[in-house]
Structure 1
Amino acid sequence: MTRRWLVLADDLTGAADCAIALGRRGLAAVVIWGHIRSARSRQEPILAYDTASRGLSAYAAAARHRDVLASQPGSGRLLFKKIDSTLRGQPAAEIAATLECLGSRSGSAFGVLAAAFPATGRTTRGGRILVNGRTLEETDLWRRDHTYPSADLVDVLATAGVRSEKVTLAAVRNGELKTILASLANVGDVIAICDAETEHDLHLIAEAGLYASPASVFIGSAGLAHALARLDVAESVEPLRIPTSKFGTLTVVGSLADASRSAALRLNATGTVVHFPIEPETLRNNNADRAKIATNVKECLAEGGDVLVEILMNEFPDMSLGPELVTSLAETLEIAVPVIGAFAATGGETAAALLSRFGVNGIRLAEEIEPGVALGLTIGSLSVPISTKAGAFGDEHSLIRINERLRAVRTRGSLI
């Protein structure tokens, strides 16, 4: 049986990496944003929607999820609620709204939460997320951007009135998981928070979650999505037709994560790209410098050169400026749209702002370059190969690999 999925994510890169994970067994996958009602006409088995709620208040993020789910009654799709693996945004409020909507249809709702993504160093033990073996609260990611006083997942969900039960690693592995989850599903209106350290753990959770209830909502990151996909029989899908292009690749780094900044430094050091670092004050105030940068970027791309645009940040960045900066950057680079041969971006907010400004309203996904890095073709007035990467995923060589792959795709017109 081919399962059809609706993925809800609070940013673009999250929507893409979960959708391509679910689609890796040969199923067509697409990610869209904007007017959700247009999703009803999409026939792809895997449909992901970017709610763009990462920066919203808990109330507004919950309301957006209710609106999305209300617009998709009787879709015949299983639901995957993607959450950020470091708990940024408003996952508790969004999960509460999701359970509320599902419960209103069936009388009760049951969720299986597994936040681990072992391929990117995210594991869970005791209902807490670990990043490369360190508790989430110990990381720079948490210190720079967090919503909750504690990263204990039971406490996080309780802030939105969601009842949950921890399922220990021993319980995941001892052969009783199906019975445990089925019992919780029978009670209803509860989230099972499952520990996991390996892909096999996630496989056990996915299998037991599907067994527990036909209406289970799965909550997690691309690690759980991969596990669910492996339970389906592989199919074949018509390969994407990629237009060849003589124009260069535009790579934009807007994420503050160390992984993205290190990767930008490495890519620049290869000498294969022209680097355009942009100060925040330039994006906020200096129209003359912005115009000059835009012209130079356009000329470079038109000549077939690859370009790296990076929003510079100091040691203590003002997080509140993020939306303003990426909006300004999108306006700045719009002039270069006709000569973009391929596009890559780190950070979901950055990618969504630029693509929307460029006339793109979706991405037809093709494959996963590496964990958390999706490759596809833009949908809309601009049709070019694209790669999206969550800011904190990957290593210092990720952007080099992405740039090389996009160059090969746009020059050969093939994903192979």
Structure 2
Amino acid sequence: MTDRWGVIADDVTGACDVAAELRELGLDVAVVLGVPQPADIPRGVDAVVVGLGARTAPRERAVAESLAAAAALREAGAGRWYQKYCSTFDSTDEGMIGPVAEALVDAGGHRASVGTPATPHADRTVYRGHLFVGDRLLSESPLAHHPLTPMTDPDLVRVLSRQTTRPVALLDRRALGEGADAVAGRLAHASGHVIADALDDADLDVLADAIETAGDRVLPGGGAGLITALARRIRPSGDGAVEREHPEAGGDLVIAGSASARTREQLAAAGGPTVEIGALDADARPDDVVATALDGIRADLAAGRVPVVSAGHDEVAIAFAQGRLGVARAAAAVEAVLAEIARRSVAELGVRRLLVAGGETSGAVTRALGVRSLRLTRRVDPGVAWATGRASAVAGEPVVGVLLKSGNFGGVDLFTRAWEVAP
């Protein structure tokens, strides 16, 4: 069938965010990591989510990978595309949200893209085109200081206009108040891009109804909120009790690559990290850093503790390393070390369940393990769920349980509570 939703997410944690919410609706959801071949995409599921590594990629690569994913989804029978981007619109003026939307609009024969990053369950809302994180404008939130995608402008029409030559219009909340039929009428004449306000799920439901009526004229996109509203119109194909592979008994491991405020709180609640990875050391002597980290993990596992490996969250130290190495090189050095620690922990120490915080870190870890697809098992918090997959880069290809989360997601006690429902 060609009417299944195929979600094209710009990173791994964004894919898992969507999949967690769709799974909560009782849908059977598959997550495919990286650019898939049609044969990689399961046919007997309600929705397929592709997790790319495109959020901070050069535009040309982001567009090419998104188009390749869309083509594979269509060939595999998931021909209704949704462009998933972050609920905080993480994208600089050189970013990929606008160019990818344009490419997918053209490839799908649509007239316009329409969407919103608003995700009320994650406290992300849009009003008069301005994105709020909780009760603060995006530009007044910690996202304003993100090392790779600092969000200093909360006006999404302005932000998107700087990424595209096509017109960007606002569908404000007053228009949503006119009802789905009126909104569908507006979308029928739209071109370029439309950013929509949304303060709650009711707003998203109006927009979803309008998108359904508009049909192929528009490409929907945004955060997990809107695709969840669209998915509320799907009848699950089964009872949600699909048999899944489960990991063998083994050790647990937390890898926190995110420097977000919420991840810092989660680290503190867990008692702090076992090992901290500094960018300068990771760049200069990665093998030694990995070996030292494995010693600490081994000791914790032997003592019955869950080891926690952190990228370090001292802002002064991070800034110093970025000044010495540059932002991109510092980040790449840490991600490479964290990914190798994860791989060797599974291969050598018997770790079978990993909780990974941070989008870039999650992508690096899953690539290092050779995990190409995931099946969702249990939602823990909004946008946060456990999944299972095979670590094909490890001898024997063991099944591993992974919880891949955006740095800002999850309750403060997630690093200790998540294990209660782990596969």
Q: 2:262 aligns with which of 259, 264, 270?
A: 259
| Matching residue of 1:218 | 220
Q: 1:156 aligns with which of 155, 159, 163?
A: 159
SS at match of 1:67: helix
Cα drift, residue 97 of structure 1: 3.2
Residue pair 2:274, 2:296 contacting (<8 A) in 1 also: no
Cα drift, residue 244 of structure 1: 5.8
Cα drift, residue 334 of structure 1: 2.4
Partner AA of 1:209 in structure 2: I
Partner AA of 2:281 in structure 1: T
Cα drift, residue 147 of structure 1: 6.0
Cα drift, residue 301 of structure 1: 3.6
Q: 1:322 aligns with which of 331, 334, 348?
A: 331
Residue pair 1:283, 1:329 contacting (<8 A) in 2 also: no
Distance 2:78 2:122 in 1: 31
CA 1:139–1:39: 2 relative to 1, 3 Å: farther
CA 1:95–1:40: 2 relative to 1, 3 Å: farther
Segments of 5+ residues of structure 1 without an aligned counterpart are 410-416
Aligned runs of 1:242-321 on 2, under 5 Å? 242-243=245-246, 245-268=248-271, 275-286=274-285, 287-298=287-298, 300-301=300-301, 305-316=305-316, 317=318, 318=322, 319-320=327-328, 321=330
Residue pair 1:29, 1:47 contacting (<8 A) in 2 also: yes
- TM-score w.r.t. the length of structure 1 is 0.87
CA 1:190–1:288: 2 relative to 1, 3 Å: closer
CA 1:62–1:19: 2 relative to 1, 3 Å: same
For each residue in 1:269-298, what CA deviation from the matched residue of structure 2 results, as whole angstroms up to 9, or x when unmatched? 6xxxx7222323332223334313213424
Residue pair 1:240, 1:366 contacting (<8 A) in 2 also: no
CA 1:244–1:12: 2 relative to 1, 3 Å: closer
| Matching residue of 2:378 | 367
| Matching residue of 2:400 | 384
CA 1:289–1:239: 2 relative to 1, 3 Å: same
Residue pair 1:136, 1:142 contacting (<8 A) in 2 also: yes
Cα drift, residue 312 of structure 1: 0.7
Distance 1:359 1:382 in 2: 11
| Matching residue of 2:394 | none
Residue pair 1:11, 1:53 contacting (<8 A) in 2 also: yes
**RMSD (Å), alpha carbons:** 2.6
| Matching residue of 1:29 | 29
For each residue in 1:15-46, what CA deviation from the matched residue of structure 2 results, as whole angstroms up to 9, or x when unmatched? 11112323433322121223421456421331
Which aligned segments of 4 or more residues in structure 1 are displaced greater than 6 angstroms? none
Distance 1:150 1:313 in 2: 25
Q: 2:105 aligns with which of 102, 106, 128?
A: 102
Distance 1:68 1:218 in 2: 16
CA 1:344–1:148: 2 relative to 1, 3 Å: closer
| Matching residue of 2:52 | 51
Q: 1:334 aligns with which of 340, 343, 354?
A: 343
Q: Number of aligned pairs?
A: 400
Residue pair 2:30, 2:373 contacting (<8 A) in 1 also: yes
CA 1:63–1:241: 2 relative to 1, 3 Å: closer
1:203 aligns with 2:205: yes
CA 1:368–1:59: 2 relative to 1, 3 Å: same
Distance 1:215 1:243 in 2: 42
Cα drift, residue 362 of structure 1: 1.8
CA 1:349–1:382: 2 relative to 1, 3 Å: farther
Identity of aligned residues (%): 25
Partner AA of 2:398 in structure 1: L
For each residue in 1:305-344, what CA deviation from the matched residue of structure 2 results, as whole angstroms up to 9, or x when unmatched? 4211111133143342212211122223422213013111
- TM-score w.r.t. the length of structure 2 is 0.86
Residue pair 2:48, 2:78 contacting (<8 A) in 1 also: no
Cα drift, residue 102 of structure 1: 3.5
Residue pair 1:248, 1:302 contacting (<8 A) in 2 also: no
CA 1:173–1:71: 2 relative to 1, 3 Å: same
Segment drifting more, 116-125 vs 144-153:
144-153
| Matching residue of 1:412 | none
Partner AA of 1:54 in structure 2: R
Residue pair 1:87, 1:147 contacting (<8 A) in 2 also: no
CA 1:371–1:154: 2 relative to 1, 3 Å: same
Segments of 5+ residues of structure 2 without an aligned counterpart are 392-396
